[in-house]
């Protein structure tokens, strides 16, 4: 293998730049030519492919977002789109591909590998932390810290006004962000898609808080919770507790931006090298991840289909400490 390409795809995540830097510099160190594909799979189809040098990735380790840009490509979901993308790679002589993204990115990578046989290695880059085969995904730690900072601030004002706050954090199918920033922020209740919390549970908890002299409460809601989003949940609860002053805050995309934490930069740097070395060692159609502090390669299909449950210990901790 002499030439490889790297792209970022799907929702961006802080640390993607550090990872692109690592892929590019690791490839150059190992005597490979390396190309950056802009706009994810869309750019691959259109041939938005550029040779990268060491200086192309200077001064980006600390920057949020992705210099390669990102997209959720509709065309790559079609056979013709994937064929065009493969022809572009052939044109440039690219023999291996590194895709940084989440489940949508890996679904595309897996089909692409099945159809065209080009070795692909995925790197888990999503704030959701919902991929099997890596304890943590790139961007998760930064997103948790961003959400935590917001929760701390909201707690100040919630406390001054004796209010209940419903704070919605990201995580379409996963409560990882909610659990971590909820524990870190001392939330009274955390609602995640992995466990079932009824509206009655919420009402009872808020009543209990008031009975135990708490004057304000924070409920952290993962956006994918089965009871709905934070607004919907607050409305349902308010009907039963009209005397409580309630507010809703949806943190949204601030969780996707900002400078990556040290943890995310190091994770990104390790996984970039692991992906390039994996390609050179004959790995294909796998995701490079870190489990128990060791590099592991997991089949892409397994990484996206197998669930990574939230540890029972964390759920128990939440219940005990929010008394």
Q: Which residues are catalytic?
A: 128
Question: CB of 133: closest distance to ligand F6P in angstroms?
Answer: 17
Question: Counting contacts by CB under 6 A, is residue 170 touching ligand F6P?
Answer: yes
Per DSSP, the three-state class of 96 is: strand
CB nearer ligand F6P, residue 36 or residue 224? 224
Segment interacting with ligand F6P (CB under 6 A) among 83-91, 120-128, 203-211, 266-274: 120-128
- Among the residue ranges 26-34, 60-68, 169-177, 243-251, the one whose residues contact ligand F6P (CB under 6 A): 169-177
When asked if residue 225 is in the footprint of ligand F6P (CB under 6 A), the reply is: no
CA distance 212 to 308: 35
Long-range contacts of 234-242 (CB under 8 A, 24+ apart): 234/166, 236/199, 237/166, 237/199, 237/202, 237/203, 237/206, 240/199, 240/203, 241/164, 241/203, 241/206, 241/207
Judged by beta carbon, residue 20 or residue 127, the one nearer ligand F6P is 127
Other beta carbons less than 10 A from residue 180's beta carbon: 23
Contact 202, 189 (CB under 8 A): yes
Residues 21-50 interacting with ligand F6P (rule: CB under 6 A): none
CB of 12 to ligand F6P, least distance (A): 8
Contact between residue 9 and residue 39 where contact means Cβ atoms under 8 Å apart: no
Does residue number 123 form part of the binding site for ligand F6P (CB under 6 A)? no
- 188 vs 186: CA distance, rounded Å: 6
Q: Count interface residues toward ligand F6P (CB under 6 A).
A: 10
Nearer to ligand F6P, 160 or 305 (CB): 305
Q: Minimum Å distance from CB 163 to ligand F6P?
A: 26
Q: For residues 268 and 283, which CB has a smaller minimum distance to ligand F6P in the complex?
A: 268
Smallest gap from residue 123 Cβ to ligand F6P (A): 15
> 3-state DSSP call for residue 34?
strand
CA–CA dist 163, 155 (Å, integer): 9
- Would you say 14 or 272 has its CB closer to ligand F6P? 14
Q: Is 253 helix (H, G, I), strand (E, B) or coil?
A: helix
* Minimum CB distance to ligand F6P smaller for 133 or for 278: 133
Could you give the CA distance from residue 20 to residue 36 in angstroms, rounded to a whole number? 8
Shortest Å distance, C-beta 301 to ligand F6P: 19
Q: What one-character DSSP code corresponds to residue 256?
A: G
Biggest distance spanned by C-alpha atoms of the chain: 70
> Of the candidates 223, 219, 291, which has an alpha carbon nearest to the alpha carbon of residue 255?
223
Give yes or no for residue 11 binding ligand F6P (CB under 6 A): yes
* Per-residue contact string for residues 241-260; x = within reach of ligand F6P by CB under 6 A: ---------------x----
Q: Is there binding between residue 167 and ligand F6P (CB under 6 A)?
A: no
Structure tokens at 195: 């466990």
Contacts with ligand F6P by CB under 6 A lie at: 11, 102, 126-128, 170-172, 223, 256
């Amino acid at each position: 293998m002499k030439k490889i390409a790297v792209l970022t795809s799907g929702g961006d995540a802080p640390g993607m730049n550090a990872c692109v830097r690592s892929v590019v510099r690791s490839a150059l160190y190992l005597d490979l030519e390396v190309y950056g594909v802009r706009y994810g799979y869309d750019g691959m189809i259109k041939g938005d492919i550029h040779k990268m040098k060491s200086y192309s990735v200077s001064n980006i380790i600390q920057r949020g977002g992705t210099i390669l840009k990102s997209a959720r490509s509709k065309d790559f979901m079609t056979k013709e789109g994937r064929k065009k993308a493969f022809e572009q790679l052939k044109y440039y002589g690219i023999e291996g591909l590194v895709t940084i993204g989440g489940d949508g990115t890996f679904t595309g990578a897996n089909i692409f590998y099945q159809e065209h046989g080009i070795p692909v290695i995925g790197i888990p880059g999503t704030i959701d932390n919902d991929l099997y085969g890596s304890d943590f995904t790139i961007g998760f730690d930064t997103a948790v810290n961003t959400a935590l900072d917001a929760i701390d601030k909201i707690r100040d004002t919630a406390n001054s006004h004796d209010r209940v706050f419903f704070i919605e954090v990201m995580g379409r199918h996963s409560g990882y962000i909610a659990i971590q920033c909820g524990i870190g922020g001392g939330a009274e209740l955390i609602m995640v898609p992995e466990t079932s919390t009824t509206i009655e549970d919420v009402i009872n908890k808020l009543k209990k808080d008031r009975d135990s002299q708490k004057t304000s409460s924070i409920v952290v809601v993962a956006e994918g919770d089965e009871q709905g989003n934070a607004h919907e949940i607050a409305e349902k609860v308010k009907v039963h507790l009209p005397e409580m002053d309630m507010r809703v805050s949806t943190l949204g995309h601030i969780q996707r931006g900002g400078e990556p934490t040290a943890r995310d930069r190091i994770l990104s740097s390790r996984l970039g090298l692991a992906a390039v070395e994996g390609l050179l060692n004959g790995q294909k159609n796998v995701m490079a991840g870190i489990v128990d502090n060791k590099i592991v390669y997991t089949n892409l299909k397994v990484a996206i289909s197998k669930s990574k449950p939230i540890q029972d210990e964390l759920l128990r901790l939440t219940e005990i400490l929010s008394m």
